[in-house]
Structures are given as structure tokens and as C-alpha cells.
Structure 1
């Protein structure tokens, strides 16, 4: 009996002690006990939760502090500098408003504030741009609110191959246009404009200045010139214009514009090409007063606009390149013979007519008020008539022309100067030795005398036996004759050659 009483007493005492200890434990607001390991569990999130809470930052044109555009013949180097706020650690940076025609392999990103403490872990170029068809394709397998006749219903988009296929209620429907469709949200992998996405690691300051550089196509420039000759065709004025075309998919606002003239070799991997172009950009000096300052670097010429300009998307812009006046001008007439004259005739016994080509020539030097390397381009030629009106006279294209070189422009063919030729003799002197004689008649119907350069191709091992006008051997297989023709007059060039084949 005593043992039973003693055991009951100990049990009651133990239970009371347990109740007292429990009353001293902390409670939650809901009356539940706090897990002693709660702090540890709250700090350890699942990978999916951690990924969804990764920090991110977005930058657009509003953050841009500097922009430079170096345009080559068919591509451009873009340098975009922005002030951005970057979270510490790993995060994603959405860099918006880049050219849609960019080459992602040429992108170069760096911090100008603290380069050693901001590194790129991953880079993506997002060019899947938002439009109604792509938006619809992203909702395959999901529900949408569509107009089914006059009624708005919930429909499931089953497929979107050559047209949408819907499930509305218990029916499969195709071939109808639902008109207005309501999308609950924008898919995360569709963008309203081309965007670069970087995964970065930042151990530096939050506020930094960053630079993104890349190559983009569909940006090009060309040079156009206007040459206006006076009535006597002895002097001319030359105006040069740069035409810049932007179809890259984005606009460039308040940019420092530079143009590169020359033949750029691009037969190298894209990354190497970008590094070479970056090195070229680093050699560029600061801009000077408008319109353009030119300088030589490597085997190219660089033209820097002395002010900032904006180039909108799908826009052509013209900027003045040069303005020169009172350039001494030389006018020449040329007749260029062709090899087939020695082997055929259209009408036996009748002369063949040659076009008499008219050229303007001038020297690209300081004495002629020029001396600036001229980029390749089209020269349109104008001349004043007797009333002082300027009329279009012709056009030609020039190659890249350094200073102190001659510019030669084919204006057109002379109307009032006529050239006819025929072969008047052919003899076999010995084995593979021949003599040939030609006659070229020049008639001038102008009111002023002219001088015509006649350039004759002569094959084989040749020797000039005689000529009615002075001649010069201009190449191994060519001779040139200078023939003056009086106004309303005629001059006849006869020459005889001995040729060994």
C-alpha cells in the first residue's frame, strides 16, 4: 500500500514539474511553439525560391551619358556609356535599346568606375520581339478570353501551326478570327525591343558608369559630291556630302559621329575583328570644329564630325563634308581604240565610229583649294548655261583619292566631235611579221578648237614606222597620239606599225 501511494506521489510530482516547464516555454502569436531550428530553416531557401529572388537591374536610354558611333562602309562600332545602379553580389542586368542588327559575338562590356570588381558571368542577346503572332504562340496550351460571336468565353489554345486551333467548351474550333483576345500577362521571354541580358557579379560600389561596345550591321555611309563648272569650263566649285543610313533597328541620339573611309579587311573571326576595331577607336583624337576633321590612322582615313548629331532608325541623314571653290579645271577629249578593231569590221570598206569621251580633270591639292583625302563616292556634274542657270551635265564615280592625286571624271560623250577609223593596209612581211596601217578621222563641229587624245592598243612586238602626229608609247601594248582639231575643221591621223607575233 505504501509503495502504491509513493508511486502515485512521484507521478503527480513529475507531472506538475512538466507543466511548470511547459508554461515557461515561448509561444507564437497563434499559440504554437516556436521551432528551435527556425532560424536555420528560414535562411536555407530552396534553389527555385533563390532563383526567383535573384536581384536584377534595368537600364535604358534615360541612363545614357555618352554615345559614339564609328561608321564604316557597311557596319558600325557603337560605344554606349551609361550610369547605372547595380546591386551587390550576383544579379541580372537588362541593357535595353541596343541595335537589332548587332553581332552578339562582338559585344564588350566593362565598368569604367571599378573594372576589377564587376565581372560578367553570362551574356544573352534577346531579339525575340513582341508582336501579336509571337504573343499568341507563347500561349499554346493555356487559356485565353476570346470573343465567340457576341459572347466572351474562355478558350484553350491547343496549337498555332498555320493558324490557331482552339478548344471552346467541348468543341475543337479552327479557322475563325476571335478578334479581341485578352492575355493575362506578358511572357518573360518576349521583349518590346532588342535587349542584352548579363549575369554580373559586383563587389564594387552600387552606383557605377558602365560601357557596352558592339558591332552592328545595316548602318552605312557614302559620299556624294556636286561639281559645278563655270560657263567656260575652266574653274569649278566642289561640295561634298556624307549620306548616313540607319536601318539597325534603333536610333542613336546625341552621338559623336565618326566615319572611316578605306577598304577594311573582314576575313577574320568576328571577335578578332572587334578587337582590331576597338584598337582603332582608341587611336581617335577628340573632335574639332564642324563640319569634319579628317585624320589618317592605319591604312584608313577617319572623318570626325565636330558636333554631336542624332541618327534615327530608318533614317537617311546628310552632313556637309567639304566646300571648295575656284578649283582649276581641265577639259579633255579622248578616243580609246579597242582590240576588236584589228580583227573585224561591221561594213567592209566603211569606217567604224568611235565615241569621243569628254573628261574633267583637277588636282586634289592645296593649290586647287582642296588637299583633303576624298572618300569614294559619286560626283554629279553641273554647268551654267548662257542665262546663268545650272544644268545637270553628267556624273561619275571616284575611288578613295588621297591628297595631291588627280581626279578624273567622265562627264559624257561629245556631241559635236566625231571620230571614225578604218584599217587601210595589211601586209605579211615574213613569218609572223606584219605591217598594218590605220586612219582615224576627227571632225570638230564646235565653235572652238579642241585637242583629242587618241589611245591605240597595239599587240605583239611592235614598232611605229610613221605617224602624221606626235605619238608616245604609254604602255607595252599602247600608243597615244595628241591630235588638235580646229573649229569646224577636220584632222586625219595616219600611222603605220610593224608587228611581230
Structure 2
């Protein structure tokens, strides 16, 4: 249906008027002063033992204008994960809104500056032998493999002299910076909280155990070692540590873990952390503010316990494949493992969750000097569990194991006899535990010493050995598999 001529004329006139009208002005963006670490009023750092840190910091933003503004949030870690950043106003959560976020990490460096000036004119200052200087104007053509200049109508390589630049390109920053475009309902001061995750922070536990002279008790001191390689310093921070196996997913979907170790602290100090259960982990909070510097390893006391009862075991282990076919001589001069065992219970002065780490064991010699006797790693250990440490192998207690008989009763059953000769070169009697991982459906036919079934696959003997003497264990087992 054709419109009347008068209507068509009005529509055309309106369209022409719209085309002639200027576009609506875009919202002006006000540049705010940079926010730096000096604006912080509080900061909390939670460190995980998988190479991860959670930072929550409070800053004051003064004179935030009404409308849309650009804020440069500086002094953040160079290893920050920008996808995890969250900003909120503590004074007016609904009045301050983040419209856009950019993480700028194109840092100023000689190479970057030269790259930004490719195609532009620079000044080269040369110094003569008489110390006079002259300036040459040149166009920088390339920096691949070294600078290439056009000076006049010539292409110049390996030009001597210092290159001076008129200014720093605006897209280079001196340090990693978060840049936010924000919208503010009304001009005012805001206290804001920014939270984010960063890589490059981790912690581990390290323990020092000093064995008593009679090997019957030990003193245990625990330390935490915090390693900060995040690219930022956090002054007067509230420090929290999370102990537990927190799962992380890398860009390829592969779980990641990290760990660090440290040497012994010479003197014990009072514990400074308060421990609490947190989700399926344990949280340790330092009872005072502390400064965590970039590229710093910090050690803080975690726990201390005295006179913890401990038992020492000399252990000879067998191998499961010894019981399936004919073998003959199994070992010669096998050293006994030295294993320490103690309970993590309140009754003995512990009874606290122990984060995974390394326990280093010392003992005083006759002069009273502490000597290192071995170390072992422990996993995260809840309270009321037993800790076992393999700290080394005995020098003076050795064993030889021999299969003295083998009888194949059927394709899936055999009987075999064994002899274990244990030699003790110490000036005191010892008891040696012989642990044989027999496996299968097994029966102890006979033995020279009483054997016990430690579990479904393990046969165990306790063998007394006199000082400067030896003891011989013989036994016969039937195995079906």
C-alpha cells in the first residue's frame, strides 16, 4: 500500500534531520591518580603448599569522581592470575562498579623501548676522543639481531653512541599494573577490597627432632618456611597458611603441586600460629602482622614439644619375589634400617595436625654437641596418628639371607625354607625385626623363633642378637598363589 505523498515527505525530512544531527558524545573517562601500595590500609596473605597465594588487600581511593573513570591499580604481583581479581567497595558496594579490567605487563626495558621506536626518529649521542659530543638524528628501522638505522640516505649498522628517546611510550608500564574502568554513582572517597590469586608463593613445614641419650624420647620443634617469588612485597600482612592437598588445574587440565625444603633452625622458639580446622584442610594463622618480601624465604616457629616417647627399630626387609621360585643366596651384608616411631597424641605433648615436611633428627655426642643422624619426609599427619621415620641404616648390624630349600608342590603352590643370619658388632644387645612380605595364601610351617602375621601379606619375627655376636633365624613357609 503506497503511503500518501504528505506522509512520505515527512518521513524523508525526519531521516534527513537525523543524518544531519551530530552523534551523541561518548562518556568521558576521567583519569584517576594511580593507586599504589602506600594506599593500603590492610593486607591478608593466605599461602598454600601447592605454589599458590590468595591476597586480600584494602586500599583507600580518594576523590573518586562521579561517572566513568580509569584507575591504575599498581604494586600487584607479577605472577598474579588476572582472571581471579575481584574489586568491591566496602563503603558503597552498589555505587562503585567495574566496567572493564586490563592487566598490563608490557614492562619498560631497553629492548622494549627500542621495539616501540621502530619507524620513529631517535637521537644518537657520540663521544669523541677529546670527550666532545655530537648528536645524530636517525630513524630506527629494526632491532632484530641489533639496531638498524637510516641516517640521511644511508643504512647504518653497529652505530656507536648512546640512544636517547624523547619519552616513554604510553603502552609500556614500569611494573605490572591492573587498569580498571569504573563507574561511580557519586563523587566520594571509597575504601575498596581487592582479592586475587597469585602463583610463586608456597610454604612447607620443617621439623627438628633431638633424640635423648637413651634413645627413648625426643624433643620436637616445628618451623614453617614461606617462599615468596610472586613479584610483590606485602608489608605488615596478616599471614595464614593452609595445610592440605588443594587441587589445582593447569591450563592443560593437569593437577599441579609444588614443594620446597630448608635447612635446620638452630634454636627453638615459642609457637606463633593458631591452628583450626578449615573445610577438609587445616588453617594456621600467625598471631602478629609480618612483612613478606618479594624474593624472600621466611621461617617462623610452628610448634614445640619436649620428651616425646620414641621407639627405635632395627629392621631387615625381604622382597616379595623371593617366595615364588628357587633363589639360593638372597642378600649378603644387608644393613639394618633404623626406624624411629612416635605417636602424635596429646598425651605425649603433641596431638596437633602436622603439615607435611621433613623431619631432621639430631643427637648429642659425648661432648654435648648435636650431630645430624638422618632425616625423613612425612605427609600431612592428623592428630592421634603414628609417625615412622627411616633415618638411615645401621653401621654395626648386618644380615645375610639365604633360601636353603625350595619344593614346587604344584604349578601354583610351593614350600621354601630360609635362613637369616644377623651379626651384631655393637657392644650392647639389640633386637632386630625381620619383616618378610610373603604375599599370596601362605602358612608358616615351622620356625626357630616365634613368627607373627603382621598383615595378610607379611610375616614378622623379633630376633634378639647378643653384643658382638650373631643370631640365626630359620623358617619354612608354604605359599599358594
Unaligned residue ranges in structure 2 (runs of 5+): 1-21, 129-133, 256-269
Aligned to 1:292: 273
Partner of 1:157 in structure 2? Answer: 140
Partner of 1:108: 86
Cross-structure match for 2:115: 137
Q: Does the Cα contact within 8 Å between 1:66 and 1:255 map onto a contact in 2? A: yes
Matched, 1:481 2:461: yes
| Aligned residue in 1 for 2:396 | 416
Distance 1:476 1:221 in 2: 39
Q: Is the 8 A contact 1:114 1:204 kept in 2?
A: no
Which of 47, 53, 56 aligns to 1:79? It is 56
Once the two structures are TM-superposed, the CA of residue 55 in structure 1 deviates from its matched residue by 3.3
Tell me whether 1:383 sits opposite 2:363 in the alignment.
Answer: yes
Matched, 1:93 2:75: no
Q: Could you say if the C-alpha distance between residues 338 and 111 of structure 1 is closer, same or farther in structure 2, counting changes exceeding 3 Å?
A: same
Query: Which residue number corresponds to residue 37 of structure 2?
Result: 61
The structure with the greater share of residues assigned to helix is 1
CA RMSD of aligned residues (A): 2.3
**1:16-38 deviations in whole A, cap 9, x for unaligned?**
xxxxxxxxxxxxxxxxxxxxxxx
After TM superposition, the score normalised by the length of structure 1 is 0.83
Please give the alpha-carbon distance, in whole angstroms, between the structure 2 residues aligned to 1:190 and 1:268: 28
What residue number does 1:491 align with? 471
- Counterparts in 2 of 1:430 and 1:64: CA distance versus 1, 3 Å: closer
Aligned to 2:421, the other structure's residue is in SS state strand
User: Do structure 1's residue 337 and structure 2's residue 314 form an aligned pair?
Assistant: no
Query: What residue ranges of structure 1 are gaps of 5+ in the alignment?
Result: 1-43, 274-288
TM-score (norm 2): 0.86
Specify whether residues 290 and 491 from structure 1 end up closer, same or farther in structure 2 by C-alpha distance, changes over 3 A only: closer
Report matched runs for 1:288-437 at 5 Å.
291-342=272-323, 352-430=332-410, 432-437=412-417
Q: CA deviation at 1:132?
A: 1.1
Which is greater in Rg?
A: 1
Report the Cα offset of residue 149 of structure 1. Answer: 5.4
Aligned mate of 2:427, from 444, 447, 453: 447
Deviation at 1:353, TM superposition (A): 3.5
Please list the CA deviations of residues 181-202 of structure 1 after superposition, one character each: whole Å capped at 9, or x if unmatched.
Answer: 2221111111111100000000
Asked whether the 8 Å contact 1:57–1:91 carries over to 2, the reply is no
Q: Which deviates more from structure 2 when the two are superposed, residues 333-342 or residues 412-421? A: 333-342
Q: Is the 8 A contact 2:436 2:458 kept in 1?
A: yes
- What is aligned with 1:200? 182
What displacement does 1:299 show? 0.9
Structure 1 residues 252 and 45: alpha-carbon distance in aligned structure 2, compared to 1, 3 A threshold = farther
**CA offsets, 1:371-413, max 9 Å, x none?**
1111000111100111211101011111111111111111110
Distance 1:250 1:490, change over 3 A: same
Contact conserved, 1:55 with 1:87, CA < 8 A, in 2?
no
8 Å Cα contact 1:337/1:354 also seen in 2:
no
User: Is the counterpart of residue 128 in structure 1 residue 109 in structure 2?
Assistant: no
Paired residues, number: 437
Alignment match, 1:185: 167
